[in-house]
Structure 1
Amino acid sequence: MIANTSFAIFDFLSFEATREQAHGLYQLEEFLAIDTKEDVFVLRGAAGTGKTSLVKAVVDYLEKQEIGCYLTAPTGRAAKVLGYKTHSLAHTVHHTIYKIIPTEDERIIMDRRINTQDAYSIFIVDEASMISDLQNREGSFITPNSVLTDLLAFVKQGNARNKIVFIGDRYQLAPVNESESVALNLTYFFKKYKLSGRQAELNEVKRQTGQSPVLSLAHDIRRKSDEGRALGKLAVNRLYNFTAGVTRYMNLYDATRPDNVVMIGASNKNVHTFNTMVRDRMGLTGILAVGDQVVVNENWIGGEQLIVKGETGLVREIGSAIEKRAALEFVTAKIEFRDPDHQPLIITTKVLLDTLRTPTAEVAGELLRNLKADRMAKNHDYRNNPHPANDPYMGAMRLRYGHGLTGYKAQGGEWSHVLLHPWFHENDYRYAYTAVTRARESVTSWEQGGNWWQK
């Protein structure tokens, strides 16, 4: 392939770049050239520094150069945000590099795909602070290697010259059980994977500079983190109590715009309490009702369709009869999700109601074992091939209510307005920063029990 040198990457930028942005784009343009023997580019930048605008320019530039470009993000929510902002199709990292193998114990083995695309290509990973380099053998996903290891292997398998761009914010929450976001550390790639590359950093906040209280708040948290100062009082909109917070949410909620408002809390208990209050205000009765906004708590497979953990849906229809199987309760429901093109995707499935009853959305292992024994006895197909997808009850969708989320579950998403639950660990800079930067327009909290950071 001979690159077209009649245009530069700057030709695809819709605004005048700052010095930092210009330096980053120069570095990116050199890195993207097929004859540059480098593997990894790390673009780090805080909220509002223009990372996504630079990514849009890179995507358009690569399209003009007729170089393959694959957009990915760690979660479905983050992939949708990336696709919307770049006007391109984006998938989750898991969708891109893994094929699904259900197991008998209701978990999913993520087996790395074979990359058969041998044309020189660029892979872009947004929200890379969430990419883990730990092997996962717990929860619903089982990965024989870490996601980072498999991602790098997949990229290089297609063409040894393929390159990968990691984009993210080092001030956000690191992956669970990890102290730093290693996918944003160029030195880490060299030491562990023997990969070479470049790194650029954006620090100057340009988006709505001076006019955005959200970005001002995020900048204040960053500064205190860098200087080791106490987090102290946060400059957020304040309400006088929890009930006022629920009222604020109700005033902003729009079922047709699920990205308009969210409540973010540090614990499952606080999130569950908030969700329960919102449902009461909405007049929703029973465990599940038409109009419920829900979040998928465990990966769900139906035929060739995968709805990943964290996807938000709206209950459109619900069966009148609750079915009991082995002391667990189920109902048939139609739930509307959104596909990668933001088009409605209606899923009809059994829903396990018991996960909606507790803050952790967990079901006792003994109850699940009893259910499995029941289905083995009564379902011939499942007995011959005991995968959850072969039984409507073993493969029932497991949900949480979706008005409030924990910080980890909200990471990668954006909402116009964020309600921040006032109870979280003192001086937890990453949590506070991640929570407030989910907001595009406003962050609001409330007084509850004399929380220290509002004093």
Structure 2
Amino acid sequence: MIGKHFGEIVLKNFGYEFSPAQKNAVGLFSQFFFGQKEDSLFVLKGYAGTGKTSLVAAIVNTLLSFEYKVVLLAPTGRAAKVFSAYAGHSAFTIHKKIYRQKSATDGEGEFDLGFNGGTDTLFFVDEASMISNSGEESNFGSGHLLDDLMEYVYNGRNNRLVLIGDMAQLPPVGLDVSPALDPEALRFLYNMEICEAVLTDVMRQAEQSGILFNATAVRHLLGSGKTTPELKITGFPDVCRIGGAELLEEIDSCYGKYGVDETMIVCRSNKRANRFNEGVRRMILYREEDFSCGDKIMIVKNNYFWAKDYERIDFIANGDIATVLKIEKRAELYGRHFARTRLMLAGYEEEITAWVMLDTLTSDAPALTYEENRDLYRSVEADYTDLASRKKRFEKIRENEFFNALQIKFAYAVTCHKAQGGQWDAVFIDQGWVADGMLTDEYWRWLYTAVTRARKRLYFVNFKPEFFDRKEG
């Protein structure tokens, strides 16, 4: 029987004995895959440490060895890079795969849903908890990413979709649940047959990990009504609890051991992230300039203008991280500060040259506010008062390099939503100010998501003593 043979090859590629939940998941996947029902969809949910990534890698490699067609996708460039690394196969962002730009000269960057000519293909989408359907992405297709993904995949003949994610992670901003991991919502929205497998057992080889132990302790608080997680440090070499006095020394040590690109500070707010970024640059990296070569930055607003000159980049996404290679010149105009900068975009390994806006680096807002964007628009418009036509003025503004400057922040410290989809060798979690009334499921999802960003070393920074097991002292 082909399903049984398939399961045996997956087990061989997996490299360990299956847990009961993993064995069940492989059986359900075999039924889904070989059942060949066109209106079916597979959802694989699993918590940290349950072997979800290893199982997906084994399934993908088994399908490839049988010469089945698979496409690997993720919501962000960082998540796609992580997916590609563990599955051993190229992965793309959802946007890059399913959307096509209307016009390469359109500074607004309007993207239509592309035509899917593929057949008999299985689309795997990792980090599906991040997929929104709220209609905020008006530049892309219908503006509803999950709707567009479903339409793209199932428009192709005999194509199907596998959604993979962790239901304990943060849902998309503004939502209480992740629609792409909610079988009831998927059935209701798309009238599909939903096959679901859930991994809950932490694998034996993961039990010695303090990162996974503490992630599990936090996850167990979801829906419990409890307000203390009983975090544990003792006996785990990969987790540590530190105060402010030790922080700079530990960050510096991680920069030396793991590198700046593999160390991240995760915060509750942009304001806290700004304070950490300032401290890291001034007291560890000894950067005296407001903006310097070597700085690690994050793009904080989607940008379509600068990508049009680069074949591999469709657009520069909110959340993309880059390294400053060279600052060519600076400019002050329209009431703003700009720098013409050569950047290396992480995940693409592509150099780009663009104007960046320096004012957003230290702003407590996520990016320019609505009012600030409006003021910038009016300031740029003043340069084109000789044009009587409002439409022609708009077209000139839309092609203005400074109006289209990349909005950026330093990326030594970021908010948890910005960190989602990425992983780093060393992660520092700043608790910040937390009142008792804030210790709800929303907070525990935030903490769980932050903890699971760490691969090798995790630091709890300024955490309340009552968050830890009483035996910790």
Letter in 1 for 2:266: I
CA separation of 1:178 and 1:415: change in aligned 2, threshold 3 A: same
CA separation of 1:32 and 1:232: change in aligned 2, threshold 3 A: closer
Give the structure 2 partner of residue 443 of structure 1.
458
Give the whole-Å Cα distance in 2 for the aligned partners of 1:22 and 1:145: 38
Give the whole-Å Cα distance in 2 for the aligned partners of 1:102 and 1:278: 41
Give the whole-Å Cα distance in 2 for the aligned partners of 1:56 and 1:145: 31
Find out whether 1:396 has 2:411 as its counterpart: no
**1:244 maps to which of 226, 243, 246:** 246
Find out whether 1:354 has 2:362 as its counterpart: no
Give the structure 2 partner of residue 135 of structure 1.
135
Q: What do the CA deviations read for 1:368-396 (whole angstroms, capped 9, x no partner)? A: 113431554699xx958827773322222
Worse-superposed segment, 231-240 or 197-206: 231-240
Give the structure 2 partner of residue 228 of structure 1.
225
Residues 336-355 of structure 1 mapped to structure 2, 5 A cutoff? 336-340=344-348, 344-355=349-360
Q: CA deviation at 1:227?
A: 2.8
CA separation of 1:18 and 1:90: change in aligned 2, threshold 3 A: same
**2:295 maps to which of 276, 292, 295:** 292
Q: CA deviation at 1:124?
A: 0.6
> What residue ranges of structure 1 are gaps of 5+ in the alignment?
none
Give the whole-Å Cα distance in 1 for the aligned partners of 2:298 and 2:449: 19
Worse-superposed segment, 399-408 or 284-293: 284-293
Compare the two structures and name the one with the higher helix fraction: 2
**1:407 maps to which of 384, 409, 416:** 416
Give the whole-Å Cα distance in 1 for the aligned partners of 2:263 and 2:397: 34
Give the structure 1 partner of residue 337 of structure 2.
329
> What residue ranges of structure 2 are gaps of 5+ in the alignment?
234-239
Q: CA deviation at 1:5?
A: 9.0
Give the structure 1 partner of residue 237 of structure 2.
none
Q: CA deviation at 1:37?
A: 4.7
Find out whether 1:198 has 2:195 as its counterpart: yes
CA separation of 1:389 and 1:113: change in aligned 2, threshold 3 A: farther
Q: CA deviation at 1:406?
A: 0.5
Letter in 2 for 1:432: L
Letter in 1 for 2:420: Q
Give the whole-Å Cα distance in 2 for the aligned partners of 1:387 and 1:251: 49
Count of aligned positions: 442
TM-score for both structures, normalised by structure 2: 0.85
TM-score for both structures, normalised by structure 1: 0.88
Q: What do the CA deviations read for 1:168-220 (whole angstroms, capped 9, x no partner)? A: 11111111111111211222211221000211111111174331001110111
Give yes or no for contact 1:124–1:164 (8 Å, CA) kept in 2.
yes
Give the structure 1 partner of residue 92 of structure 2.
91
Residues 153-232 of structure 1 mapped to structure 2, 5 A cutoff? 153-159=151-157, 161-206=158-203, 208-232=205-229
Find out whether 1:426 has 2:403 as its counterpart: no
**2:148 maps to which of 147, 150, 156:** 150
**1:318 maps to which of 303, 327, 338:** 327
CA-based RMSD of the aligned residues comes to 3.0
SS, match of residue 191 in structure 1 = helix
Give the whole-Å Cα distance in 1 for the aligned partners of 2:265 and 2:63: 38
Give yes or no for contact 1:133–1:147 (8 Å, CA) kept in 2.
yes
SS, match of residue 362 in structure 1 = coil
Give yes or no for contact 1:43–1:201 (8 Å, CA) kept in 2.
yes
SS, match of residue 189 in structure 2 = helix
Give yes or no for contact 2:108–2:398 (8 Å, CA) kept in 1.
no
Letter in 1 for 2:142: P
